[in-house]
Structure 1
């Protein structure tokens, strides 16, 4: 399971964070390959469902012009992972922004993300 978990974590951190704001692909399709139907992403205490993550694509696509995710550390234990990373973006209104993330997550047996707890800090 650890290999599946590492691939799923990297797919989330790199592919998902790039594709949701920049891809022409349907946000629901991106979510389908990344998250289970009952997935929850808790950021700084705010809980987002899979449907809310999909809805977030529209404003992100309107405002984000470039994205780069740098993974500083990725730890995997069975179906769980922890990561320390930096999301660097170019934003139409905010300019260049960098957000440091610390995440812990759980991966379902099918290799999709089921739960994430995240703390973020804009630098």
Structure 2
């Protein structure tokens, strides 16, 4: 595989996010399946190691009861992709949590992620108007 297709990029983002938060599969297996051994994952300027990605997902599995990754925009060019998306999760203690993400990524020859740079924000909730 030399290029990533739009459907493959969409599946990669959705499946990786869902599996990390909601599946019973071993987190290390998910990371190994979706990221190369030398992958670089940068979130809001902080580079995360493989171990940090796994550690981040463990509490999510304990607290997230449902989740959905919506991809609003997706651009694909060769092995590179860019996406604007929203992750909505139902959290046991916090209720509904939504995070907006901008991601720029690159896949390796085998289709696994080599690099992701991600910027995120959690929008503030809009007050109810009572209408």
Say whether the fold is shared (TM-score over 0.5). Answer: yes
Is the CA contact 1:41–1:48 (under 8 Å) kept in the aligned structure 2?
A: yes
Larger radius of gyration: 2
**Which one has a larger percent helix, Structure 1 or Structure 2?**
1
Contact in 2 for aligned 1:105/1:116 (Cα 8 Å): yes
TM-score (norm 1): 0.92
Partner deviation per Cα, 1:25-69 (whole Å, 9 max, x = no partner): 111111111100111211111111222112222111111111101
**Deviation >4 Å, runs of 4+:** none
Q: Which runs of 5+ in 2 are unaligned?
A: 124-131
Q: Normalising to structure 2: TM-score of the pair?
A: 0.86
Question: RMSD between aligned alpha carbons?
Answer: 1.4
Q: How many residues align?
A: 122
Alignment of 1:13-92 (within 5 A): 13-92=13-92
Higher strand share: 1
- Alignment gaps of 5+ in structure 1: none
